[in-house]
Amino acid sequence: MRPPPPIGLLAELTHRCPLRCPYCSNPVDLARRSAELDTDTWRRVFREAADLGILHVHLSGGEPTARADIVELTRAATEAGLYTNLITSGVGLKQDRLEALATAGLDHLQLSVQDVLETEADRVAGRRGAHAENRSVAGWTVAAGLPLTINAVIHRGNIGRIEAIIDEAVALGARRIEIAHAQYYGWGLLNRAALLPEREETLLARTVVERAQARLEGAIVIDYVAPDQFARHPKPCMSGWGRRFIVVTPTGRALPCHAAESIPSLEFWTVRDRSLGDIWERSPAFAAFRGTEWMREPCASCPRKEVDFGGCRCQAHALTGDASNTDPACIWSPGRDAIRSAPPAHRRKQVVYRKYGQARQSPVNRR
Ligand code: SF4
Ligand code: SF4
């Protein structure tokens, strides 16, 4: 049976980025510039995405504006009929280039912020001046008439400043802010022990967000992505595997989730030699956990199986060693303990900043 069409494409245009955030969701083994898809291939992918029924494309990375052809790619996505959202740290982006992106048809800009405190933001980003550049881009975005969303990744270091981060987003003119706890894949998994907040801090964070939602109703939309560690059930990761989204990596591999390459048993097809439609319908990686047939107990007989689809396959693999297991974020998972007590390879206290070549040294990769 043909799967229903996807709605979103996450186009990871590059892994290059001037910043070095220790929670970066990119894989530890970062793709080199020489291996990236060229402009024409991305143009074709955008046309195929629209033909497949996809409505919006997230131009992401790494830092997507590190691509010299970002304006051209934005225009190509717009001409294909896709709603375009640029996900950027803003670092390295100049005002004239931002205006060129708006002219090329960019519909929306999502700006990632590290912290409200300049010194802390620069420290986490691994670059002096990152905070100042980032806030300039917020101003230029609003001046260009583009809707602005702020993304703030929450971790042990900034969890006490959520309210200030939200208030700053209002002052910057953002229409929406996403307060999302760090996800523990890629670099985040490597740095889990250093990033994971305490339970009490996490519970308080939810209260702070709820208070701000009430106080700022009508001024800004505040979305909250709760951490898995203290939840009863997992989130419906990617709205279900192979159900709504396609991720295309900088090298052209098509994935059901941006962390799917961490599951070694999966076979990924590439847009270099197959159409997006062919991949969506027939790729073994997309078929592997689509629907509910693949589930084991307790998911197989659970009334929530069409609600959260058993949670995250990558987290199940990372924490239990088998991607077919119930996500340990679920209280009914036999591997539940793993969600709070990291395996030895993830217990390092010293932060590892993102950099090329780290994969060779990583204890996670050496397992
Ligand atoms: S999380 Fe930080 S290092 Fe990773 S792509 Fe975003 S800005 Fe760059
Ligand atoms: S048992 Fe599986 S389907 Fe049921 S709530 Fe837990 S993760 Fe979701």
Give the three-class secondary structure for 316.
helix
DSSP 149-166: EEEEEE-TTTGGGHHHHH
pLDDT score recorded for residue 346: 53
- Using the mean position of ligand 1's atoms as its centre, give its distance from the Cα of residue 214 in Å: 30
355-359 contact pairs (CB < 8 A, 24+): 355/20, 356/30, 356/32, 358/28, 358/190, 359/27, 359/28, 359/29, 359/30
- Using the mean position of ligand 2's atoms as its centre, give its distance from the Cα of residue 310 in Å: 5
For a pocket test of ligand 2, which of 232, 296, 299 has the largest count of ligand atoms closer than 8 A to its C-beta? 299
User: At CA 53, angle to CA 295 and CA 221, rounded to 5?
Assistant: 80
Nearest ligand atom owner, CA of 311: 2
**Which sign, positive or negative, has the C-alpha torsion 285, 287, 289, 295?**
negative
Closest atom, ligand 2, to C-alpha of 295: 2
Report residues whose beta carbon is within 6 angstroms of any ligand 2 atom: 233-234, 298-299, 302, 304-305, 308, 310-311, 326-327, 330, 332
For a pocket test of ligand 1, which of 12, 13, 19, 187 has the largest count of ligand atoms closer than 8 A to its C-beta? 19
Look at residues 239, 259, 234, 231 and name the one whose alpha carbon lies nearest to residue 247.
259
pLDDT score recorded for residue 190: 86
In the chain, % helix, strand, coil (3-state, to 5) comes to 40, 15, 45
pLDDT score recorded for residue 365: 36
Instruction: Please answer whether residues 209 and 224 qualify as being in contact, where contact means their C-beta atoms are separated by less than 8 angstroms.
Output: yes
Residues of the chain with pLDDT under 70: 340-349, 358-367
- Using the mean position of ligand 1's atoms as its centre, give its distance from the Cα of residue 15 in Å: 9
Give the three-class secondary structure for 103.
helix
Report residues whose beta carbon is within 6 angstroms of any ligand 1 atom: 17, 19-21, 24, 26, 61-63, 89, 112, 354
**Structure tokens given for 23:** 């929670």
- Using the mean position of ligand 1's atoms as its centre, give its distance from the Cα of residue 132 in Å: 16
- Using the mean position of ligand 1's atoms as its centre, give its distance from the Cα of residue 89 in Å: 7
Model pLDDT for residues 289-342, shown as the tens digit of each residue: 999 999 999 999 999 999 999 999 998 998 899 999 999 999 999 988 888 665
pLDDT score recorded for residue 246: 98
Which residue lies with its CA nearest to atom 5 of ligand 1?
62
Question: Residue 110 forms beta bridges with which residues?
Answer: 87, 149
**Which sign, positive or negative, has the C-alpha torsion 192, 135, 222, 160?**
positive
Instruction: Please answer whether residues 126 and 119 qualify as being in contact, where contact means their C-beta atoms are separated by less than 8 angstroms.
Output: no
- Rounded Cα gap, residues 315 and 237, in angstroms: 10
- Using the mean position of ligand 1's atoms as its centre, give its distance from the Cα of residue 292 in Å: 33
pLDDT score recorded for residue 343: 53
- Rounded Cα gap, residues 271 and 355, in angstroms: 26
**Which sign, positive or negative, has the C-alpha torsion 290, 294, 298, 302?**
positive
pLDDT score recorded for residue 363: 43
Give the three-class secondary structure for 231.
coil
pLDDT score recorded for residue 367: 28
Model pLDDT for residues 173-187, shown as the tens digit of each residue: 999 999 999 988 789
- Rounded Cα gap, residues 50 and 77, in angstroms: 9
- Rounded Cα gap, residues 158 and 165, in angstroms: 9
For a pocket test of ligand 2, which of 309, 332, 333 has the largest count of ligand atoms closer than 8 A to its C-beta? 332
Nearest ligand atom owner, CA of 155: 1
Model pLDDT for residues 37-58, shown as the tens digit of each residue: 999 999 999 999 999 999 999 9
- Rounded Cα gap, residues 107 and 126, in angstroms: 29
pLDDT score recorded for residue 9: 98
Which residue lies with its CA nearest to atom 2 of ligand 2?
299
For a pocket test of ligand 2, which of 228, 292, 304 has the largest count of ligand atoms closer than 8 A to its C-beta? 304
Whether the full predicted model's pTM is greater than 0.75, yes or no, is yes
